[in-house]
Amino acid sequence: VPQTYRQVILKDRPVGEPAAHHFELVERPMPEVAEGQVLRRTLFLSLDPYMRGRMSAMKSYAAPVDLGAVMVGGTVSQVVESRNPAFKSGDFVLGYDGWQEYGLSDGSGLKKMVDWRWPLSYALGVLGMPGMTAYVGMLDIGRPKPGETVVVSAAAGAVGSVAGQIAKIKGCRAVGTAGTDDKCEYVVKELGFDACINYKTQHVLRSLRKNCPDGVDVYFDNVGGPILEAVLRLINVHARIPLIGMISQYNATELSPGPNLVPLLFNRALIQGMIVNDHVDRRDAFLQDVSGWLREGKMKFREHVVEGLENAPAAFMGLFRGENFGKLLIKVAD
Ligand SMILES: NC(=O)c1ccc[n+]([C@@H]2O[C@H](COP(=O)([O-])OP(=O)(O)OC[C@H]3O[C@@H](n4cnc5c(N)ncnc54)[C@H](OP(=O)(O)O)[C@@H]3O)[C@@H](O)[C@H]2O)c1
């Protein structure tokens, strides 16, 4: 264990896009491990769009990060010293240590990764929070039926890629949207979607009309904004719209006027917001189903791994420009 370790703290609250000067990389002395405590070394840090909300003081479903505090985030770590009988040196744990190289606490909230047969990083991706978001959002709110048409935005990303593959497993036509031709090709050829629209180069409404000739029964919305507006024009009677994310709005400095909601009324469609933390009761079913689909080769998952804690701010900012291709992770240590 070294004598110092590094953290990324929130230095300033962004208005609009986050930038490097909103973060600061600081070095801290390694704390002593007191009786009852467990010290772990971060191996993987998950970077997720919701962290933009935590940088802001605006009212939300979770408290903001205080100025000067360590940025929050899900982590996979290895115990390096333990004075808590529940953990021993060498244990792998899933936690919420944030943007730092080491975490120290009494161990509450840490989940030991016993019998984990997958890459450790999957606990932050397909078999973690993003995968579970896709699972609950698609199955419990989207409720796709065989033969229906399902549209998924940010389809090449951590949540969207899993959501669309679940729609395929359930016998639906899956149409994605993504921001580059490479991503679209991956979504169709690797993930098995029926079509994918590059929303940056194609006319979204026209392309959706072409690729969803029977209208849209489920829209799994990760982005909000103009894509939501276009899909609403094509929704079918009794369509379901899980509102999962609004990434196109996270850096907005003014509230957008929003899409016209008349199609929801005329089609008696359901639109429902969802936050994954409310659904811990679905965790066992999610892990069982998704690990089964991975084992059977019915589901694929791509990761975008950046090395080094110092690169976390730049990698995080890239989420809002579509620079990640797959689940964005920081590999903090081997
Ligand atoms: N409700 C919940 O509990 C919950 C949990 C997890 C995640 N989420 C939400 O799910 C969404 C996806 O998260 P993720 O972790 O899977 O991230 P991700 O899709 O792996 O990465 C974010 C992607 O969003 C796309 N994007 C960025 N700006 C955009 C814009 N203005 N318009 C359209 N697309 C844009 C980019 O892909 P392109 O190249 O395709 O533009 C980028 O790669 C986010 O909105 C997130 O907040 C919600």
Find out whether the beta carbon of 157 lies less than 6 Å from any atom of ligand 1.
yes
CA of 29 to the centre of ligand 1 (A): 36
Q: How far apart are CA 318 and CA 300, in angstroms?
A: 23
Q: Which atom of ligand 1 is nearest to the CA of 324?
A: 43
CA 217 to the chain's CA centroid:
23
Give me 9's structure tokens.
């703290």
Nearest CA to ligand 1 atom 30: 248
CA of 175 to the centre of ligand 1 (A): 16
Residue of 182, 247, 278, 283 best suited for mutating to test ligand 1, as the one with most atoms within 8 Å of CB: 247
Q: How far apart are CA 23 and CA 310, in angstroms?
A: 10
CA of 244 to the centre of ligand 1 (A): 9
Residues 67-106 have pLDDT tens digits of 999 999 999 999 999 999 999 999 999 999 999 999 999 9
Q: How far apart are CA 4 and CA 7, in angstroms?
A: 10
Find out whether the beta carbon of 49 lies less than 6 Å from any atom of ligand 1.
yes
Q: What confidence score (pLDDT) does residue 291 get?
A: 98
Find out whether the beta carbon of 325 lies less than 6 Å from any atom of ligand 1.
no
How far is the CA of 242 from the CAs of 15, 100, 230, in angstroms? 28, 33, 16
Q: What confidence score (pLDDT) does residue 59 get?
A: 87
Has this prediction a pTM greater than 0.95? Answer: yes
Residue 138 near residue 220, CB atoms below 8 Å: yes
CA 322 to the chain's CA centroid:
13
Find out whether the beta carbon of 303 lies less than 6 Å from any atom of ligand 1.
no
- Which residues of the chain, if any, have pLDDT below 70? none
Q: What confidence score (pLDDT) does residue 144 get?
A: 98
Q: How far apart are CA 235 and CA 283, in angstroms?
A: 30
CA of 247 to the centre of ligand 1 (A): 5
Find out whether the beta carbon of 179 lies less than 6 Å from any atom of ligand 1.
yes
Residue of 159, 241, 271 best suited for mutating to test ligand 1, as the one with most atoms within 8 Å of CB: 159
Residues 237-258 have pLDDT tens digits of 999 999 999 999 999 998 888 8
Q: What confidence score (pLDDT) does residue 127 get?
A: 98
Q: What confidence score (pLDDT) does residue 256 get?
A: 83
Find out whether the beta carbon of 274 lies less than 6 Å from any atom of ligand 1.
yes
Q: Which atom of ligand 1 is nearest to the CA of 155?
A: 40
Sign of torsion over alpha carbons 327, 156, 137, 245: positive
Backbone angles phi, psi at 107, to 5 degrees: 95, -5
How far is the CA of 62 from the CAs of 58, 75, 172, 191, 274, in angstroms? 10, 18, 34, 33, 14
Q: Region of 110 please: left (phi>0), alpha (psi -120 to 50) or beta.
A: beta
Residue of 136, 162, 202, 222 best suited for mutating to test ligand 1, as the one with most atoms within 8 Å of CB: 222
CA of 49 to the centre of ligand 1 (A): 6
64: exposed, middle or buried (Cβ count in 10 Å: 0-12, 13-18, 19+): middle
Residue 162 near residue 134, CB atoms below 8 Å: yes
Sign of torsion over alpha carbons 315, 48, 157, 161: positive
Write the secondary structure of the chain as one string of H (helix), E (strand) and C (coil): CCCEEEEEEECCCCCCCCCHHHEEEEEEECCCCCCCCEEEEEEEEECCCCHHHHCCCCCCCCCCCCCCCECCCCEEEEEEEECCCCCCCCCEEEECCCCECEEEECCCCCEECCCCCCCHHHHHCCCCHHHHHHHHHHHHHHCCCCCCEEEECCCCCHHHHHHHHHHHHCCCEEEEEECCHHHHHHHHHCCCCCEEEECCCCCHHHHHHHHCCCCEEEEEECCCHHHHHHHHCCEEEEEEEEECCCHHHCCCCCCCCCCCCHHHHHCCCEEEECCHHHHHHHHHHHHHHHHHHHHCCCCCCCEEEEECHHHHHHHHHHHHHCCCCCEEEEECCC
Q: What confidence score (pLDDT) does residue 64 get?
A: 97
Q: How far apart are CA 65 and CA 90, in angstroms?
A: 30
Q: What confidence score (pLDDT) does residue 236 get?
A: 98
Give me 46's structure tokens.
């998950």
